[in-house]
Amino acid sequence: MRLSTRQAWLASLDQPRIEAAIAAAEARTSAEIRVSAAPVFWGSVKRTAQWAFERMGMARTQERNGILIFVVPARRKFVVLGDVAVHSRVGQEFWDGLADTLSREFRKDRFTEGLIAAIGQIGVQLAAHFPPQPVAVNELADAVDLGESEPGPRAPA
């Protein structure tokens, strides 16, 4: 991930395509998928991703089957988090595959394509474990979260 500023990274994204990919993946499953782009912060990326997961209501879905792709452009890092029901059904190979997809595409500065590919993988896997409900309810927004309410700078962890 070479674009070092969050603004440059966000400008490089095709957010409507990402949101359409989320909607298409969620049409195949009852699970919820979110993407969040974090502002600059100090401290642990994983802990901040966990905080964002909570802040965004990912842990309050009915089936506890949300997945968050949390990207920190300024630190050139990302974390993919899944709720408890997801963890109980998918193996480490699934998480490793998502990380490989994102890393490979991000290294080529193909951020939109990387996110869309990862979202597609998530949709396929979650459809096998969490089929769509007869009455589909979109519990969480499909929009890319810009993390405007992330915690302020913290001491390194």
Q: CA-CA distance, 55 to 98, in Å (whole number)?
A: 23
Give percent of the chain above pLDDT 70.
89
The mean per-residue pLDDT over the stretch 94-100 comes to 94
Q: Which residues contact 157 (CB under 8 A, 6 or more apart)?
A: 43, 44, 47
pLDDT of residue 61: 87
Render pLDDT for 3-33 as a digit per residue (tens, 0 to 9): 457 788 888 889 999 999 999 999 999 999 9
- Judge: domain 6-129, CATH 3.10.310.50: yes
pLDDT of residue 75: 83
The residues that bridge with 145 in the sheet, in sequence order, are 36
Tokens, residue 98: 């998502």
- Which runs of consecutive H residues, i.e. helices, occur in 3-140? 6-12, 15-27, 45-55, 84-87, 92-107, 111-129
Q: Note the pTM of the prediction, 2 decimals.
A: 0.86
Rg (CA), the chain: 15
- Domains of the chain: which residue ranges? 6-129
Tokens, residue 26: 């969620």
- Which amino acid type is present at position 140? L
